[in-house]
Amino acid sequence: MYVPATRMQSEDPISASPAGNQAGKIISLCWNAGALAAAFYDIDQLEMYAVQQAIEPRPQYALLRELIRRYHPLFYVISGSSCFLDDFREVLGMPVALPNHPNASDSTAENSTMASQPANVKIVEYCAQTQTTAKNRLLALKLPGMPPDSDEHECQTFLESILPFEQELLVYSVGNLLLLLDTVGDSVSPAQLVTKINLITPSTQLIIDGSTYEALQIFDTSRHPSGFKCGTDTRGLSVFSLFNKCSSKNGEEWLSRLMTQPVRDRKEIEHRLNTVQWLLENVRYANQFDQCLKHLSNVGLLYRKILQGTARNTDWKMLKKNFYYLYTLCKLCALTLEDGKIAGTVVQELGQYTCNPGNALKHVLYTIDKCLDLEKGEEENKMTIRAGLDPAVDRLREQYDGLRQIVMESSRLGLETLQLDMANICVTYLPSFGFVISTQIDEQLQRSGIFNNSSFDLVFQAENTAYFQINLCKELNDEFGQMVATLIEHELAVQTRLTTFVGTKFPEVMGIFKQAGKLDALLSFATVAKMHRYVRPVVCDEKLLHIQAGRHVVLEHRRSYRSNVTNVGETNSHLINVIAADASVGKTTYLKELAIICYLAHVGSFVPATYAKIPILDSIYTRLDHPESIFSGRSSFMSELYQMSSLLRNATAKSLVLIDEFGKGTNYLEGKSLLIGSIEHLLKRGPNAPITFVTTKFTGIEQFLPTEHRYLMVKVHRENRNHSRNGTSSDTLDVTSIDPSDPNEQLKTTYQLAFRAVAFAVMKYHQTSGRAPATENIRLLMESTPITRVPERCLEISHPPSRAAHDTASMTLPVVEPNGNPIEKRNI
């Protein structure tokens, strides 16, 4: 059967998705008066997701940034007030300015808009007329499950059962997205593009910003310093790579979805944890599930090919294979329904589905097998209707097969003379050329001389296949062409009915396919938990965090790692914990350990500890390391300030806040003051303060904090600077955290560090030149070293003055002006 190959236009957003992107999305955003609503379309699943309207103050845009980070849209449809359009450029990181409101009547403004507006952004003017147009488009939507002859009122009633129409921004964003999908081309009708609408509530999502994901190495997204390779996903040593034990590509995509969309819905978290717990206790069934899951592929992509009319026999065969193993998986799950522990798991949901005799999966699988002869179609390299389905098609098929046999026998002698393998020869009918003889292009065909044989006319070549005609083919075309055209017409009608039937059942089948992908991801969680001795976290609504023998999920696989104990809120009320240490004692690693354990609990995974009690959080904010890049246009300290500003503004009473060595990017006094001010700001919230952990090298910070405060705990750890943690000498010159109470101790430390700096320089000189430097070179080196710009004071330290002079010493350093007059400058 011949099906014309039609493709979407290249300029359409859907066809513009890269081949490697298996989860492309188009998002529609609408913001007005401090409220945001969104809707996005999943290209692979042919489903639309509507994000409920929520409060979104500017200029933070916490929800907006989270949506962009979470879904990585390929195309944007934005609408809202002019201030939002201006802010959106900064949120998206666009190098060019977006226009405020395009004016269709002004050609000059329109040309300017097209020149400055990025290719993947469409701006819709926010006005009453566009709102009405968007709402009317939504009301005209026909979804599977709607009666075909339903009127406008019935359609609106059906849609109101899915979407809250009282949220005007939500209706507007969904309508704008549908209007965009109407322009994707003629290969798929708009009614077929959207098979289902899902509603997402922002209050069930855990907010984590992109910098936190990078600092915790969830996906290990490395950024090139120049910015030209910004956002390249390497997926190296990361939490995702550690947990990726999925059997199928579908499971890997679901694992990525679970790990990019942590939730704070306790019911959903318990649902996932129950599934992981059951899989750990039933390894035999888990292995059987794995044998079915590894055969599943991207069903949404196959269905889209069917809708576009580009599906071949191999695509239908792959679709049937997916449905078969999906149905087998459900039947295996049904065998476990007698187990009482299976309640509240994904396995129970899949098992109960097959108990329904009217389930769509079984009906679709039976219908495909009844309508299509996939084995014969594989031989003929085209879709073939199974015999006995339609008597008219069977009669025409019998005549068609007889004509093909005549052509084959007539050309056999000539083909055998050319020493060609008859197993690779096939006779078929193409509407544009009629009966043709097809064969694969290989070295044997090139040597046969068929291209120079006058008895075989080359029609065309395509995909390593050559198509020829003999005189008999042309005669049969004239005599039986109408009969073959009638056969193709009947087969197309059968295929259309089959596609329509599969389309009506596809949303239900796709729902089960999602559950199978989720089961694959949770099975991966169970595998990792069993391999590395993870425990099930206790998720609670109380404001407490208790972790026994917590470990870092990635670091423990690279070297020996000492576990840590954390207790907040259970036996104390210390919501804000400050850890001050003047040496490398693992402060940053400890903060990342806490964040990852809380994060894993919110994605539904077991955690690396012997016991963990985790509160339901609404957000995780961190001030950890930040990648430096020329492309960002910010200094290291400016990036720290941006992170702290976002943290202090957006953190709530249910947030987890982690601050690591804030203030080290500036001078000692300013950095210490900023850190103390930030801690005092959080303390002012009292019991509404977030659970906060702060690490710093400012070991004297306890003198400036109200250590008696009931919500504050300060721990100070001091260590000899001349030795590292393992007792060996340290080669790090660290002067940013010096805070001795005695000024002479400060000067002594400065002198020691200066001596070491000069010693390192002399050693380097000796290694490169092979001889010791001259005395004059050492003197010049001492004078040019920034840390030794106090030679007079260092000389006094090397020759201590009398005790009387020592008692009158102050923290002032003599500095000589260019004119020779001495002045005093305070050294803090």
Q: Residue 705 corresponds to which amino acid?
A: L
Q: Among 717, 744, 775, where does a domain finish? A: 717
* 73 and 147 share one domain: yes
* 183 and 281 share one domain: no
In angstroms, the CA 794 to CA 625 distance is 36
Q: Residue 658 corresponds to which amino acid?
A: L
What pLDDT, on the 0 to 100 scale, is given for residue 81?
85
Residue that has been written with the tokens 């339903």 in this structure: 150
Q: In this structure, what CATH number is given to the domain that contains residue 679?
A: 3.40.50.300
Q: Stretch 536-562: mean pLDDT, rounded?
A: 89
Higher pLDDT, 343 or 308: 343
Q: What is the pLDDT of residues 480-505, one digit of tens each?
A: 777 777 887 888 888 888 888 888 88
* DSSP code of residue 529: H
Largest CA distance in the chain: 125
Q: Is the pLDDT assigned to residue 816 strictly greater than 60?
A: no
Most confident of 127-136, 188-197, 301-310, 465-474: 127-136
Q: Residue 668 corresponds to which amino acid?
A: Y
Q: Stretch 132-156: mean pLDDT, rounded?
A: 80
* 432 and 511 share one domain: no
Q: Is the pLDDT assigned to residue 734 strictly greater than 70?
A: no
What pLDDT, on the 0 to 100 scale, is given for residue 731?
34
Q: Is the pLDDT assigned to residue 268 strictly greater than 50?
A: yes
Q: Stretch 12-31: mean pLDDT, rounded?
A: 59
Q: In this structure, what CATH number is given to the domain that contains residue 124?
A: 3.30.420.110
* 198 and 214 share one domain: no
What pLDDT, on the 0 to 100 scale, is given for residue 223?
46
Q: What is the pLDDT of residues 646-677, one digit of tens each?
A: 788 888 899 999 998 887 777 777 778 888 88
What pLDDT, on the 0 to 100 scale, is given for residue 227?
43
Lowest mean pLDDT among 255-264, 270-279, 417-426, 467-476: 417-426
Question: How many CA atoms does the CB half-sphere of 354 hold within 13 Å?
Answer: 20
* 272 and 196 share one domain: no
Q: What letters, b where the CB count within 10 A reaches 16 and e where it falls short, cover 121-145?
A: bbbbebeeebbebbbebbbebbbee
* 519 and 487 share one domain: no
What pLDDT, on the 0 to 100 scale, is given for residue 126?
87
Lowest mean pLDDT among 97-111, 452-466, 494-508: 97-111
Q: What is the chain's Cα-based Rg?
A: 35
Q: Among 532, 549, 582, where does a domain finish? A: 532
Residue 429: strand, helix, or coil: strand
pLDDT-above-90 percentage for the chain: 20
Residue that has been written with the tokens 């009453």 in this structure: 128
Question: How many residues are present in the chain?
Answer: 828
Q: Is residue 768 part of a domain?
A: no
Q: Is the pLDDT assigned to residue 712 strictly greater than 80?
A: yes
Q: In this structure, what CATH number is given to the domain that contains residue 305?
A: 1.10.1420.10
Reported as a pLDDT band with limits 50, 70 and 90, residue 536 is: very high
Reported as a pLDDT band with limits 50, 70 and 90, residue 808 is: very low
Reported as a pLDDT band with limits 50, 70 and 90, residue 798 is: very low
Higher pLDDT, 432 or 176: 176
* 185 and 261 share one domain: no
Q: Is residue 15 part of a domain?
A: no
What pLDDT, on the 0 to 100 scale, is given for residue 224?
45
Q: Stretch 248-276: mean pLDDT, rounded?
A: 91
What pLDDT, on the 0 to 100 scale, is given for residue 744?
63
Reported as a pLDDT band with limits 50, 70 and 90, residue 765 is: low
Q: Is residue 755 part of a domain?
A: no
Q: Residue 72 corresponds to which amino acid?
A: H
Lowest mean pLDDT among 8-17, 122-131, 225-234, 503-512: 8-17
| Centroid of chain to Cα 266 | 22
Query: CB of 507 within 8 A of CB of 195?
Result: yes
* 554 and 652 share one domain: yes
Cα angle 442-445-449, degrees, rounded to a multiple of 5: 145
Tokens at 441, concatenated: 């292009």
Residue 406: strand, helix, or coil: helix
What pLDDT, on the 0 to 100 scale, is given for residue 749?
66
The domain in which residue 668 lies consists of 538-717
Q: What letters, b where the CB count within 10 A reaches 16 and e where it falls short, cover 308-318?
A: bbebbbebbbb
In angstroms, the CA 392 to CA 38 distance is 51
Q: Is residue 227 part of a domain?
A: no
Residue 508: strand, helix, or coil: helix
* 252 and 267 share one domain: yes
Q: What is the pLDDT of residues 26-67, one digit of tens each?
A: 999 999 888 889 998 888 778 888 888 888 887 778 888 888
Query: CB of 456 within 8 A of CB of 413?
Result: no
In angstroms, the CA 658 to CA 663 distance is 14
Q: Tell the burial category of 514 from Cβ atoms under 10 Å away from its Cβ (0-12, 13-18, 19+).
A: middle
Tokens at 737, concatenated: 């955290």
Q: Stretch 713-738: mean pLDDT, rounded?
A: 50
Q: Which of 409, 399, 396 is nearest to 437 (CA)?
A: 409
Q: Is the pLDDT assigned to residue 285 strictly greater than 90?
A: yes
Query: CB of 451 within 8 A of CB of 483?
Result: no
What pLDDT, on the 0 to 100 scale, is given for residue 427?
74
Higher pLDDT, 412 or 374: 374
Higher pLDDT, 21 or 612: 612
Query: By 3-state DSSP, what share of the chain in percent is helix, strand and coil, each rounded to 5?
Result: 50, 15, 35
Q: Which of 60, 90, 34 is nearest to 209 (CA)?
A: 60
What pLDDT, on the 0 to 100 scale, is given for residue 503?
82
Average pLDDT over the chain, rounded to an integer = 77
Q: Is residue 641 part of a domain?
A: yes
pTM recorded for the entire structure: 0.71
| Centroid of chain to Cα 827 | 49
In angstroms, the CA 72 to CA 232 distance is 13
Q: Which of 72, 50, 92 is nearest to 213 (CA)?
A: 72
Which CA distances in Å does 658 have to 348, 578, 699, 701?
39, 10, 18, 17
Lowest mean pLDDT among 306-320, 325-339, 772-786: 772-786
Q: Is the pLDDT assigned to residue 448 strictly greater than 80?
A: no
Q: Tell the burial category of 15 from Cβ atoms under 10 Å away from its Cβ (0-12, 13-18, 19+).
A: middle
Query: CB of 787 within 8 A of CB of 753?
Result: yes
What pLDDT, on the 0 to 100 scale, is given for residue 276?
95
pLDDT-above-70 percentage for the chain: 75
Residue 638: strand, helix, or coil: helix
Q: Which of 89, 139, 138, 120 is nearest to 14 (CA)?
A: 120
Cα angle 496-498-499, degrees, rounded to a multiple of 5: 65
Pairing of strands 35-42, 25-32: antiparallel
In angstroms, the CA 745 to CA 754 distance is 14
Q: Stretch 290-298: mean pLDDT, rounded?
A: 91
In angstroms, the CA 505 to CA 498 distance is 11
- The three state secondary structure string of 201-236 is CHHHECEECHHHHHHCCCCCECCCCCCCCCCCECCC
What pLDDT, on the 0 to 100 scale, is given for residue 188?
62
Lowest mean pLDDT among 221-235, 635-649, 689-703: 221-235
* 278 and 133 share one domain: no
Lowest mean pLDDT among 150-164, 253-267, 289-303, 527-541: 150-164
What pLDDT, on the 0 to 100 scale, is given for residue 807?
42
Tokens at 438, concatenated: 């097809």
* The total number of structural domains that make up the chain: 4
In angstroms, the CA 411 to CA 434 distance is 16
* 658 and 553 share one domain: yes
Q: Is residue 756 part of a domain?
A: no
What pLDDT, on the 0 to 100 scale, is given for residue 655?
92
Q: Is the pLDDT assigned to residue 715 strictly greater than 70?
A: yes
What pLDDT, on the 0 to 100 scale, is given for residue 105?
44
Calculate the CA dihedral of residues 133, 134, 135, 141 and round it to 10 degrees: 110
Q: Is residue 784 part of a domain?
A: no
Q: Stretch 156-180: mean pLDDT, rounded?
A: 86
Write out the H or E segment, with its range, that includes residue 796.
helix 791-798
Lowest mean pLDDT among 300-304, 612-616, 679-683, 780-784: 780-784
Q: Which of 586, 828, 605, 589 is nearest to 719 (CA)?
A: 586
Q: Is residue 817 part of a domain?
A: no
Q: Is the pLDDT assigned to residue 462 strictly greater than 70?
A: yes
Q: Among 444, 471, 496, where does a domain finish? A: 496
Q: What is the pLDDT of residues 323-363, one digit of tens each?
A: 999 999 999 999 999 988 899 899 999 999 988 888 888 89
Q: Stretch 6-14: mean pLDDT, rounded?
A: 36
Q: Which of 613, 624, 615 is nearest to 654 (CA)?
A: 615
What pLDDT, on the 0 to 100 scale, is given for residue 785?
55
Angle between the 391-417 and 471-532 helix axes, to the nearest 10 degrees? 100
In angstroms, the CA 575 to CA 572 distance is 9
In angstroms, the CA 519 to CA 347 distance is 7
* 612 and 708 share one domain: yes
